[in-house]
Amino acid sequence: MVSYTPLPVSSQGLAQRAKPSSLQVGLYMVAWIVSSNITILFNKWLLDTAGFTILLVTWHLVFATVVTQILARTTTYLDSRHELPNSWDFYLTTVLPIGIVSSGSLVASNFVYLYLSVAVIQMLKAASPVSVMIVSWLFGVMDPTIGKIANILVIAMGVAVASAGMIEFSVIGFIFQMGGLAFEAVRVVMTQVMLNGEGLKMDAMVGLYYYAPVVAILNLLVAFMIEVPHFDMADFHRVGFPTLFLNAAVAFTLNFTSMVLIGKTSGLVMSLSGIFKNILLVICSVIIWHVTITPMQLLGYSITLFSELKPFLHDSVPSPQLA
């Protein structure tokens, strides 16, 4: 997915394994970083070529639905799903609400690629810890402290400075990006509250198994209202099915590498990897699309990155992952 965020996942749902070697950890990190950035850059190219962001994301989810259904029936990778309730109550009170906010997150976060560059989007995404912490406080799953509030204010200041330094500021793009962050924050916290609150565990692949069909249907309904009336088969032929198939396969690979990284390492490693991944993505955006980064943007982004790294450098307080 263009602005990719893995569907609901609980690292507690992954089996405990032997501690991997430093080389293995490095390989897992590289695999996730490469698959994530390739997915984003690949999708950015597709959007520039044909547009139709919602239909593209819906295609990813349909592909994920088919693959997870096949895996569930032919392998043991998704056997942990049998530990979850198989009832309408579970679907209506847990799967559907999280699916709705997941759909909102994907729609808003992908529309922004029509208005802002990849580099600018990654800088604005640095505000995700702010949105997640605020929503966590509102849901009562995290207690505010002076230190956390101060760190959030510094992150927000860095994002504000980076935004002020944009050469071509798009209000619509900024609104979509902030809306995407808000939806994503609600999704993350809702997943934590609903699953952990009921003592349930769900790893990434099982999360895809449950949520991909729901989000695909919701996104398709939105696409029918917004994009389908303007869809031209010439756009499809210009891209071609083999390219779309490869694109969906790359996006699915990202889900798998995300699951492996969390299962083999920890959320801390993934958070630190996410910061490094986004820095690389900004650099790639500058090289590929010749995006101009102003000194003010660099200053704001540097302030934000330092604020996100600070908890790890001091007391290892985890920071929400940047996707």
pLDDT tens track for 59-90: 999 999 999 999 999 999 899 898 888 889 98
Which two tokens mark 153? 């204010």
pLDDT at 15 over 60: no
Pick from 274, 314, 264: nearest CA to 11: 264
Residue 121 in domain: yes
Contacts of 26 (CB under 8 A, 6+ apart): none
| CA 114 from centroid of its chain's CA atoms | 18
Who wins on pLDDT, 22 or 105? Answer: 105
Q: What is the pLDDT of residues 130-162, one digit of tens each?
A: 888 888 888 888 888 888 888 888 888 888 888
**In total, how many domains does the chain have?**
1
> Can you tell me the distance from the alpha carbon of 276 to that of 47, in angstroms, rounded to the nearest whole number?
25
Compute the half-sphere exposure of residue 320: CA atoms within 13 Å on the CB side of its CA: 28
Residue 94 in domain: yes
> Can you tell me the distance from the alpha carbon of 29 to that of 25, in angstroms, rounded to the nearest whole number?
6
pLDDT at 9 over 50: no
> Quick one: pLDDT at residue 270?
67
> Quick one: pLDDT at residue 213?
95
> Quick one: pLDDT at residue 221?
94
What is the chain's mean pLDDT, rounded? 82
Pick from 165, 68, 118: nearest CA to 278: 118
> Can you tell me the distance from the alpha carbon of 282 to that of 121, in angstroms, rounded to the nearest whole number?
9
Q: What is the pLDDT of residues 256-298, one digit of tens each?
A: 887 677 667 755 566 677 778 888 888 888 888 888 888 898 8
Which of 227-231, 260-264, 301-305 has the weakest average pLDDT? Answer: 260-264
Residue-range definition of the domain harbouring residue 249: 11-314
> Quick one: pLDDT at residue 125?
85
Residue 4 in domain: no
Residue 42 in domain: yes
- Going by pLDDT thresholds of 50, 70 and 90, the confidence category of residue 197 is low
Contacts of 262 (CB under 8 A, 6+ apart): 9, 11, 14, 203, 204, 270
Give the mean pLDDT of 203-218: 88
Asked if 99 and 214 count as a contact pair (C-beta separation under 8 A), the reply is yes
Residue 43 in domain: yes
- Of the chain, the percentage scoring pLDDT greater than 90 comes to 24
Residue 276 in domain: yes
Who wins on pLDDT, 166 or 249? Answer: 249
Q: What is the pLDDT of residues 36-47, one digit of tens each?
A: 899 989 988 898
> Can you tell me the distance from the alpha carbon of 22 to that of 241, in angstroms, rounded to the nearest whole number?
40
Residue 254 in domain: yes
> Quick one: pLDDT at residue 7?
45
pLDDT at 2 over 70: no
| CA 24 from centroid of its chain's CA atoms | 24
Residue 5 in domain: no
> Quick one: pLDDT at residue 18?
58
pLDDT at 5 over 60: no
> Can you tell me the distance from the alpha carbon of 139 to that of 192, in angstroms, rounded to the nearest whole number?
10
Structure pTM?
0.80
> Can you tell me the distance from the alpha carbon of 246 to that of 242, in angstroms, rounded to the nearest whole number?
6
Asked if 32 and 258 count as a contact pair (C-beta separation under 8 A), the reply is yes
Pick from 196, 180, 265, 201: nearest CA to 5: 180
- First-to-last C-alpha distance (Å) of the chain: 11
> Quick one: pLDDT at residue 1?
44
Compute the half-sphere exposure of residue 8: CA atoms within 13 Å on the CB side of its CA: 33
Q: What is the pLDDT of residues 167-178, one digit of tens each?
A: 677 889 999 999
> Quick one: pLDDT at residue 266?
59
Compute the half-sphere exposure of residue 51: CA atoms within 13 Å on the CB side of its CA: 12
